[in-house]
Structure 1
Amino acid sequence: MMLPIACAVTGLAGGTAAYFLGAPDTASLIWSVGVVPVLAILLWEIVVSLRRGDVGLDLVAALSMTAALLVGETLAAAVVALMYASGQALEAYAAGRASREMNALLDRVPRTATRYSGDTLQTIPISDVAVGDRLLVHLGDVLPVDGTVVGSALLDEAPLTGESLPVTRRDGEAAMSGSTNVGAAFDLLASEPAARSTYAGIVRLVEEATKAQAPMTRLADRYALGFMAATLGLAAFAWWISGDAVRAVAVLVVATPCPLILAVPVAIVAGISRAARVGVLVKGGAALETLGRIRTLVVDKTGTLTHGSAAVSQIVATPGWTEAEILRLAASLDQASQHAVARAVVTAAAERGLVLDLPTETREVPGEGVEGRIAGRLLRVGGKGFVSNAMSDDDRATLMAAVPAGALTVALSVDGAFAGLVLMRDALRADVSGTLARMRTLGVTRIVLATGDRKDVAVAITENLGIDDIAADLGPEDKIALVRREKARAPVMMVGDGVNDAPALVEADLGIAMGAKGAAASAEAADVILLRDSLDGLGEAMAIGQRSRAIALQSVLAGIGLSGIGMVAAALGYLPPVQGALLQEAIDVAVILNALRALRPG
């Protein structure tokens, strides 16, 4: 990018000096020589683009320089060459500044790790780290893989979650790759290889986001072709009515380059970067634009509206069973599930010191429950509907009667007989009410709760939240059907965190995953990931999407409007080529600076 600018500056300055020294012919020659390298580079780029099937406004820039040289407007050609080269450099700078938060994530990727090997330490490539390796993390190191803290650690998780204050992770707690150690050195037990760790996944998603082209950008490309046709038509008309080719050149000059193709990409990338700064990873411009037009919110309950860390509050055992045995068996089978409620049951059993058996022949129905064998006996644990399907009518009636109204319940059957219940408590996130209220102010007109739990449980926990509809007892297929029905009304955003939410996230116009603790499947399926384990980023992301889209449209409309006025003035002979080039450069700078406003809070 520096070579075209250097050639243009040198040619323009040398020719101007020659002109004022009384050598206009020499000045014209120098101006022409300064234009030729820029024009040659531009023509080569156009050829490369045409081979890819891309036709853009670079063609107008090439035509304006060529036409200016042919009609003897060599100074105008030199100014256009400088303005075009500087405009491209300005666009590259603006895009780089807009994407700085995302680039910062990519630049922080660790390359090596320090691993214990007997009594020595080895520096190894992070690709060589295996699950179970014990690593030493020095002060200032970026954690190379996901792992478990040995001792305690003080970590800066801001690049991942947006949390501004360092977080203390104690012995046995999980630590995410990509965090920075801001305290004393500590040991980390690797729980994932580098390729499957949190930070590697985020980096991969960031790379995908930087490559994805927004619909508005593609729309701008199509409009650019129309703008080019209008430019050529107006230039030909100006030449025809005046008989002066200079007027046609002036029209071409004013149209070079065009704010239509400068403002949109900068505003969209700036919005994505702004979202990354607050802990929201947007997978490309298409997702950011969709955020700006959502009208319906479909939201999961467990792990999304609630913390997903339900605690055991009570155990109900049928005759012949003890409470401890009910919890032990339920937890033994729940070891085969990654559902938040299943993990809470296992944790409760561990806290009580119960010895768990290893389940065999397990089969999980996402969002409903798990079936398997413990010590040769067939067990089912999960929702009452899932567990009661394998029971006799009498046992089914007994189970239904035992379930308290509005309680989050885990049922257990042994060899087809009802054995007991584990009653859970899962509190709402503190930020739920405020987030939903903000979504209303941002244009969401309908909020639907989609949950696999019973309706009375969902109604009890979401009271006074202003939810328009509650769909309960849903499996993954039901959630997909619900999203499809809502899509027929308005653009739909689905928010979830579990494996069972992944299909619905794909089906929605926009899928949003709770990425900090959510399942990998939902994070991969989603268009937007909330890296912080909080819902407040949801409203922030939607506000950023709306603002970025509005700024892009504002920049385009203002830029095209001003360019159009300038082109008409040039066609009527009121704007010579040199002044037209200077005017257009001022317009380009203005729309790019305006597009960069998307980096700042609204």
Structure 2
Amino acid sequence: MFEVIMLANNRLSLIQVGFCTLTLTGGAVLHLLDLRDVASWLWLSGACVVLVAVLADTIAALWRKKLGLDLIALVSIVGALALQENLAAAVIALMFASGRALEGYAEKRARDDMSALLSKAPRLANRYENGVVVQVPLTAVQPGDRLLVRPGETVPVDGTLMNGATVDESSLTGEALPVPYPPGVALGSGVINAGNAFDLLATSTADNSTFATIIRLVESARASKAPAARLADRYALLFVPLALGIAGIAWLLTGDPNRALAVVVVATPCPLILAVPVAIVSAMSRCARRGVLIKHGGALEKMAQVDTIFFDKTGTLTGGKARLVAVATDPSAQPEDVLRLAASLEQMSSHAIAQAVVGAAVERRLVLSTPRQVIEQPGAGLSGHVDGKEVRVGGYDYVSGTAEKPAWSTAPLERIGYDGAAGVCIAIDGKLHGVLEMADEIRLDSPRALRLLRACGVRRIAMLTGDRRDVAHTIACSLGIDAVMPEQTPSSKLAEIAKARMDGVTMMVGDGINDAPALAAADIGVAMGARGAAAAAESAQVVLLVDRLDRLAFAVRIAQQTRTIALQSVIGGMTLSMIAMLVAAYGYLPPVAGALLQELIDVAVILNALRVLRLDVATSEDGMPPGEVARLKEEHARLLPIIERLGSLADRADTMPSSVIREELVALNTLLRSQLLPHESDDDARLYPHVARLIGGEDSMASMSNTHREIFRLSRIVDRFANVKSSDGDPGASMLELRRTLYALDAILRLHFSQEEEIYHSLSS
């Protein structure tokens, strides 16, 4: 409805501009032809058309008990007509109408980006039926349907890729380049097929899909008029009485009503009328282009003043799903073999942990077998036969039964307990062979997002979660969060937010249904809309349409810069108007010249406000291509099993015969030399110079290159141990040095990979 009204107002403003231009020009021609009375009537008609519109707006504002900013424009036109200055009235009317038209153009340009999604909404889908592709209405698609997405088509519903695909995510994420995805990846609706046709297994209906939720949110945001006038109204309370007072004093002291009219003309508050809404709507558009949907201008204004931010943990600061973080095995077993057998059996379970185990195996390119005679005990685990071996996977009690706990399993099981992780135990032929540590890892962009928010001036960052105290404190310590509030209920979250609101503007960031009340209670609620609950997105004032927490820092920074630009425009425009008012009061600026001067001020104010559209603008050349980032992450995933073997060998070295240690050490050294070290050399020679140019500075990747040197140094020690024929001196000391080296290399490689991925991720934003 608001869109219709805005469109009608824009057309009306253009009609007014055209009519005023015609009457002003026609009147000037008639005046030159000495038809002055006719010219005067023509100017009067042009002024009256705008006068009626201004009078209606002023009455509407007063009816809402607000001081209308159009009041001065109304006084100036009425004053000019009362003094029979019809030419001045026509010029004032044209200037005012053109200012309104310029405002409408600026708002339309700013809103176009936020509305771009609506034009891409699909209506039909291509579904396989009995081996034939049939085009069906989108509402007919159900979970489990196999769909065909042709080149150039929009993905109609959420689903799982059946084969590889390259998609254009620019309408949702702002990413300019197509992004490749392998089979098995969950793909959200709304992205566009930028490559060959691919098959998609639907996992949602059209109404429940990601794109449908985003469309509803965008429509809601378009329908809500930004309450930006609140900022303008605060200045109007001072500006309007001041302008009328100066005009009255000039008239009273000089007895010349034309001076009062000139003062009122240059006081037309277009800097207030135009600058604030144009800046705020432009900022909303700028954020929408980067995947941050701000539902109304009031939320943007509040974001610029945020003092305290509360974060939910699961799905917000963390990934929200379990991932394999460590593999511990019996000294006689290889980690890859144990994981492969467990994942082969877990294929038969729909449990989230089971699917995470399967995903970890696929990520490591392990070839899975088809299990037989599978029995699942809900809540406990699975048993079955894989490659002729009896395999049991699940909790420790289910897997081990009454058997004695092996010595090697004590440390990993204890670590799982104090890490707050989930443990998956694997027994092969009745003996415990492995323990998988599954944990909800911190999101790759969480540390960067929190650093950027602090750089924006956020005073306090707190975690507000219903999770256990030990788990919450572990995550908080890793991220440097100021305050941790664990084991919270929805009602206790509301109490914490209410307490914080007394000290400043609060923001709550969450993704689940249980976060919806807290999102609504905070001054600004931010929902992780890319994969969060619809209830959270509906309750929030800001929705992150992309699965990147660092975009929140971008939006806060844009809000702060927008507020600065809006204030610059308002204060600058008002200052220029004040100077012009004083000049007019002294009789040096006639009404017609004043109207032209005020128009120049208006144009300057609007152009300054439109600078918001260029804030933090990045091109595809300013960052790493998403395909390159995906390739680097895939390489790290491929090399991760080598890193895991370092720690596993160090763990088992004390209990293994020297001949077995030597055999495994030789195999591990071969992998380091053939795969891992060439990867690091290639990064240093080819990738790091490119990354350094993107970051800037004289030698921005020096610390990362130094890490490479330490990795090569430790690898040389491993190579020495693998190739030495016999050990001179104390064998115990040599074993201690070997274990120390393996642990050091394991730790530094994990840290190095994590640092690299965070850098690449930040440069792909």
Query: Among residues 499, 507, 513, which one is paired with 2:513 in the alignment?
Result: 499
Relative to structure 1, is the Cα distance of residues 148 and 99 closer, same or farther in structure 2, using a 3 angstrom cutoff?
A: same
Comparing both chains, which one has the higher relative contact order based on Cα–Cα distances under 8 Å and sequence gaps of 6 or more? Answer: 1
**Alignment gaps of 5+ in structure 2:** 1-12, 330-338, 363-367, 383-393, 396-412, 425-434, 617-765
Preserved CA contact (<8 Å) 2:146 2:201: yes
Give 1:29-48 correspondences, 5 Å limit. Answer: 29-46=41-58
Against the structure 1 CA distance between its residues 34 and 289, is the aligned structure 2 distance closer, same or farther, given a 3 Å change threshold?
closer
Kindly indicate whether residue 522 of structure 2 is the aligned counterpart of residue 508 of structure 1: yes
Offset of residue 3 of structure 1: 1.7
One-letter code aligned to 1:139: P
User: Residues 57 and 291 (structure 1 numbering): CA distance in 2 closer, same or farther, change over 3 Å?
Assistant: closer
| 1:534 match | 548
8 Å contact 1:161–1:516 — kept in the other structure? no
* 1:157-182 Cα shifts (integer Å, max 9, x gaps): 12212333322344443322221111
Report how far residue 529 of structure 1 moved: 2.2
CA distance in 2 between partners of 1:500 and 1:592 (Å): 43
The 10-residue stretch of structure 1 (177-186 or 457-466) with the greater mean CA deviation from structure 2: 457-466
Say if 1:332 and 1:356, in contact at 8 Å, map to a contact too.
no
Q: Quick one: which of 128, 135, 148 aligns to 2:160?
A: 148
2:8 maps to: none
For 2:494 and 2:343, how far apart are their aligned partners in 1?
A: 33
Answer whether contact 2:420 2:470 (CA < 8 A) is retained.
no
Q: Residue 456 of structure 2 is aligned with which of 415, 439, 442?
A: 442
Q: Indicate yes or no: 2:89 matched with 1:58.
A: no
Contact 1:480 1:504 in 2 (8 A): yes
- Asked if 1:71 corresponds to 2:83, the answer is yes
Q: Quote how far apart the aligned CAs of 1:528 are.
A: 2.0
Map 1:454-465 → 2, pairs under 5 A: 454-463=468-477, 465=479
What is the deviation of 1:304? Answer: 2.5
TM-fit CA distance, 1:68:
1.2
Q: From the superposition, tell whether residues 18 and 189 of structure 1 become closer, same or farther in structure 2 (CA, over 3 Å).
A: same
- Give 2:24's aligned residue: 12
Q: Is the 8 A contact 1:43 1:62 kept in 2?
A: yes
Instruction: Specify every segment of 5 or more residues in structure 1 that has no aligned partner in the other structure, as ranges.
Output: 317-322, 360-370, 375-380, 383-400, 413-420
1:592 aligns to 2:616 (yes or no): no
Does 291-300 or 477-486 show the bigger shift? 477-486
Distance 1:281 1:237 in 2: 48
Q: Distance in 2 between matches of 1:356 and 1:45?
A: 74
Residues of 2 paired with 1:450 and 1:352: CA distance? 43
Deviations 1:371-418, CA, capped at 9 Å, x for gaps: 99x9xxxxxx99xxxxxxxxxxxxxxxxxx967453233489xxxxxx
> In the comparison of the two structures, how many residue pairs are matched?
558
Name whichever structure is richer in helix by fraction: 2
Instruction: Specify whether residues 141 and 432 from structure 1 end up closer, same or farther in structure 2 by C-alpha distance, changes over 3 A only.
Output: same
2:557 aligned with 1:543, yes or no?
yes
Among 300, 318, 321, the alignment partner of 1:288 is: 300
Q: By how many angstroms is 1:578 displaced? A: 0.6
Aligned to 2:428: none
Q: Does structure 1 retain, via aligned residues, the 8 Å contact 2:345–2:370?
A: no
* 2:489 equivalent to 1:470: no
Distance in structure 2 (CA, Å) of the matches to 1:358 and 1:93: 64
Question: How has the CA–CA distance of structure 1 residues 178 and 9 changed in structure 2, closer, same or farther, with 3 Å as cutoff?
Answer: same
Instruction: Report if the CA contact (8 A) 2:170-2:176 is conserved.
Output: yes
**Structure with max Cα Rg:** 2
Tell me, yes or no, if structure 1 residue 81 matches structure 2 residue 110: no
Trace 1:351-362 onto structure 2 (pairs within 5 A). none
Moved more, 3-12 or 496-505: 496-505
C-alpha separation in 2, matches of 1:234 and 1:352:
88
1:310 is paired with a residue of what secondary structure? strand
Q: Deviations over 1:273-303 (max 9, x none)?
A: 1111222222221221222111223223333
* Selected match of 2:441 from 427, 437, 460: 427
- For 1:473 and 1:42, the matched residues in 2 are separated by 57
Give the stretch that moved more between structures: 576-585 or 194-203: 194-203
Q: Give how far 1:586 is off.
A: 1.1
Of the candidates 565, 568, 590, which is equivalent to residue 576 of structure 1?
590
Q: Distance in 1 between matches of 2:480 and 2:196?
A: 47
Indicate yes or no: 2:92 matched with 1:96. no
CA contact (8 A) 1:213 1:286 kept: no
In structure 2, how many angstroms separate the alpha carbons of the residues matched to 1:333 and 1:10? 76
Q: C-alpha distance in 2, partners of 1:198/1:225?
A: 44
Q: Secondary structure at the match of 1:193?
A: coil
425 and 189 in structure 1: CA distance in 2 versus 1, 3 angstrom threshold: closer
Deviation at 1:259, TM superposition (A): 1.3
Q: Is the 8 A contact 2:304 2:557 kept in 1?
A: yes
Task: Give TM-score, length-normalised by structure 1.
Answer: 0.80
Given the superposition, is the C-alpha separation of residues 158 and 342 from structure 1 closer, same or farther in structure 2, using an over 3 Å criterion? farther
> Is the contact between residue 214 and residue 289 of structure 1 (CA under 8 Å) also seen in structure 2?
no
Q: Structure 2: how far apart are the matches of 1:3 and 1:452? A: 58
Matched residue type, 2:176: S
Displacement after TM superposition at 1:544 (Å): 0.6
* Aligned with 1:209 (options 221, 244, 255): 221
Query: Which residue of 1 is the match for residue 120 of structure 2?
Result: 108
Q: Contact 2:423–2:438 at 8 Å: present in 1 too?
A: no
Whole-angstrom CA distance in 2 between matches of 1:15 and 1:232 = 30
Q: How far apart, in 1, do the equivalents of 2:569 and 2:451 lie? A: 30
Post-superposition CA distance 1:412-431 (Å, at most 9, x none): 9xxxxxxxx98423333333
Question: Deviations along 1:312-335, whole A, 9 cap, x unmatched?
Answer: 55699xxxxxx99x9999999985
Q: In structure 1, the residue corresponding to 2:152 is in which secondary structure?
A: coil
Deviates more, 1:326-335 or 1:203-212: 326-335
Which amino acid is the alignment partner of residue 550 of structure 2? D
